[in-house]
């Protein structure tokens, strides 16, 4: 099982504006890339606040939503859970997935990264500076190896491996 963080960042490393969860500053190219990559992986994990910014569960993907109040119902491709990250990874493995996409937001990136559970990251950089929130809170240095940089229109996607 490989755990993959996928995020879109401003050129100054922010994932959202302060006070606005609307990501109206990212490109169509990135959205298409995100759809393709997460569909390939098949299963995504996000926090309840990020999920509330979607129109509903992401289609053709299993959606795992982390919340401390998981009794919000479920559907064919949506599960709310208060399970810890390791248990979610185990659950995804049991469902037969080889990869798990962690798609935000900041609290959820922080949780998986600081528990040293992330194997790789795909970070798309948008050519804009915004006043906003960081990708994650870092409690200690996390070293990365650069695997690839892919051009995506006016953006680029940086693929990193986390040094373990
Ligand atoms: N640029 C990007 O790639 C990107 C990607 C995703 C999101 N975002 C942005 O990030 C922002 C949201 O990030 P955020 O950090 O505020 O919220 P978040 O990580 O999306 O969700 C936080 C929620 O997750 C649940 N949670 C957190 N830790 C948990 C734990 N240990 N166990 C169970 N549930 C837990 C809690 O839900 P309950 O309150 O229900 O208990 C918490 O309120 C939005 O502005 C969004 O647009 C950006």
- HSE at residue 137, side-chain half, CA atoms within 13 A, is 4
66 lines ligand 1 (CB under 6 A): yes
CATH of domain 2-162: 3.40.430.10
- Please tell me the pTM assigned to this model: 0.98
Residue 74 is predicted with a pLDDT of 84
Residue closest via CA to ligand 1's atom 31 equals: 84
Q: pLDDT tens digits, residue range 48-107?
A: 999 999 999 999 999 999 999 999 888 999 999 999 999 999 999 999 999 999 999 999
Q: Measured from the CA of 20, which atom of ligand 1 is nearest?
A: 45
148 Cα to the center of ligand 1, angstroms: 28
Give residue limits of the domains in the chain.
2-162
Q: Measured from the CA of 53, which atom of ligand 1 is nearest?
A: 47
Helical segments of 95-147, H only: 106-114
Residue 72 is predicted with a pLDDT of 86
Strand partners, 155: 152
164 Cα to the center of ligand 1, angstroms: 25
Q: pLDDT tens digits, residue range 27-55?
A: 999 999 999 999 999 999 999 999 999 99
Q: CA angle 7-11-14, nearest 5°?
A: 50
């Amino acid at each position: 099982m490989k755990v993959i963080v996928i995020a879109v960042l401003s050129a100054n490393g922010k994932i959202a504006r302060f006070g606005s969860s609307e990501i109206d500053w990212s490109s169509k190219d990135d959205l298409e890339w995100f759809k393709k990559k997460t569909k390939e992986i098949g299963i995504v994990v996000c926090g309840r606040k990020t999920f509330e910014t979607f129109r509903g569960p992401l289609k053709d993907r299993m959606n795992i939503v982390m919340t401390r109040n998981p009794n919000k119902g479920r559907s064919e491709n949506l599960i709310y859970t208060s399970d810890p990250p390791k248990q979610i990874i185990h659950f995804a493995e049991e469902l037969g997935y080889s990869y798990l996409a962690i798609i935000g937001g900041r609290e959820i990136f922080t949780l998986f990264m600081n528990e040293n559970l992330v194997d790789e990251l795909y970070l798309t950089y948008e050519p804009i500076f915004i006043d906003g929130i960081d990708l994650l809170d870092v409690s200690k240095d996390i070293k990365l190896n650069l695997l690839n940089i892919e051009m995506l229109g006016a953006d680029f996607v940086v693929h990193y491996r986390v040094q373990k």
